[in-house]
């Protein structure tokens, strides 16, 4: 038997991570707690209202109906162009996912700079040189 129960948590006493977008649900922000059973296995998840609405809408399109679908929208919709095509309907969800990507890039860059001896020239790589354009080897604009 398969079931799903959604419970609205109106005034949580602590923050949680959204299982759908990976973003933070702050203390006091209403969200949804889900519990259920799928294919003989019990599961629980927490998420923003709009993340769960997007997931419910994506399920008929992206789910492998024998296996189900991952809670994480990034895993469920593997092609990032497909994921970004939902921006018009669920802008906050997509923004939280993009913020997660940016934080991941920053963690990678921090690890690169602290664990290796490689030191990129910030004027070339971070800001693109003068005027926001990358420089060629002769010091001029490409």
**H/E stretch holding 3:** strand 3-9
Q: Which residues pair with 25 in a beta bridge?
A: 16
Contact 18, 44 (CB under 8 A): no
Would you say residue 132 has pLDDT above 50?
no
Would you state the pLDDT for residue 109? 84
Residue 30 CA from chain centroid, whole number: 19
Q: Could you give the 3-state DSSP secondary structure of residue 41? A: strand
Q: pLDDT band for 67, please (50, 70, 90 cuts).
A: confident
Give the domain ranges of the chain. 3-132
Global model pTM greater than 0.85: no
Alpha helices in 1-142 (DSSP H): 49-62, 73-76, 80-84, 91-115, 122-125
């Amino acid at each position: 038997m398969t079931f799903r129960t959604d419970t609205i948590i109106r005034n949580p006493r602590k923050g949680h991570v959204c299982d759908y977008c990976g973003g933070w649900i702050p203390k006091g922000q209403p969200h949804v707690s889900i519990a259920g059973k799928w294919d003989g296995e019990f599961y629980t998840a927490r998420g923003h209202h709009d993340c769960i609405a997007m997931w419910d809408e994506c399920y008929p399109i992206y789910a492998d109906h024998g296996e189900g679908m991952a809670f994480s929208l990034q895993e469920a919709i593997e092609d990032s162009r497909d994921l970004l095509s939902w921006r018009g309907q669920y802008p906050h969800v997509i923004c939280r996912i993009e913020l997660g990507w940016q934080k991941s890039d920053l963690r990678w860059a921090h690890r690169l700079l602290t664990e290796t001896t490689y030191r990129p020239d910030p004027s070339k790589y971070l800001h693109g040189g003068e005027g926001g354009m990358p420089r060629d080897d002769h010091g001029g604009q490409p």
